[in-house]
Amino acid sequence: MATGLKTQGTQLYKVATATTAVEIGNIISGTPPSPSSDELDITSLTSTAKEYLQGLRDYGEGTFELNWDPATVGGTNPYHYALQVDFDAGTVREWMIGFSDGTATPTAPVASAFPTPPTTRTYLKFTGFIKSLQMQGGVNDVMKATLVVRCSGTPTLYQKV
């Protein structure tokens, strides 16, 4: 029988400090960073067909749609406001997507940088900056926002053990 990983229960975290990750709540859909690569043309005059090598990989962007909560510190989700602050500052940070095969919140030992997420849940960890944060709304709807995080470097997939 085929199995799958449900999306319900997936959470997005940003690493706020060396030992603290905070959830970006109210996510309603998302696409993690996905790899593609350049192609290097190595065709010579003696080739009988085009020849290529794989070039550098580009992991692109993670795109997340959320129900916008503008609350500041003390509110139900102070980190939506903080997303705009990060965008304005051009902050590069680590992000983690916790998939639905567990519920463990990422934590780090005191005075230690975030080495690895918990092993009781599958995580995708990547470094990036907020490329765009677009708010939108319509008739008989709630205010939504589309968060685009540009991945820098290679993401790491940590599988649940």
Q: Which two tokens stand for residue 42?
A: 């190595």
Q: Which two tokens stand for residue 44?
A: 């010579």
Quick check: helix, strand or coil at residue 122?
Answer: coil
* Global pTM value: 0.87
Strands 27-31 and 20-24: unpaired
| CA gap 22, 76 in Å, rounded | 13
DSSP secondary structure code for residue 81 in this structure: H
CB atoms within 10 A of CB 64: 22
User: pLDDT tens track of the chain, all 161 residues?
Assistant: 778 889 999 999 998 877 788 889 899 999 999 999 999 999 999 999 999 999 999 999 999 999 988 765 555 556 788 898 899 999 999 999 999 998 888 876 665 666 778 888 999 999 999 999 999 999 999 999 999 999 999 999 999 98
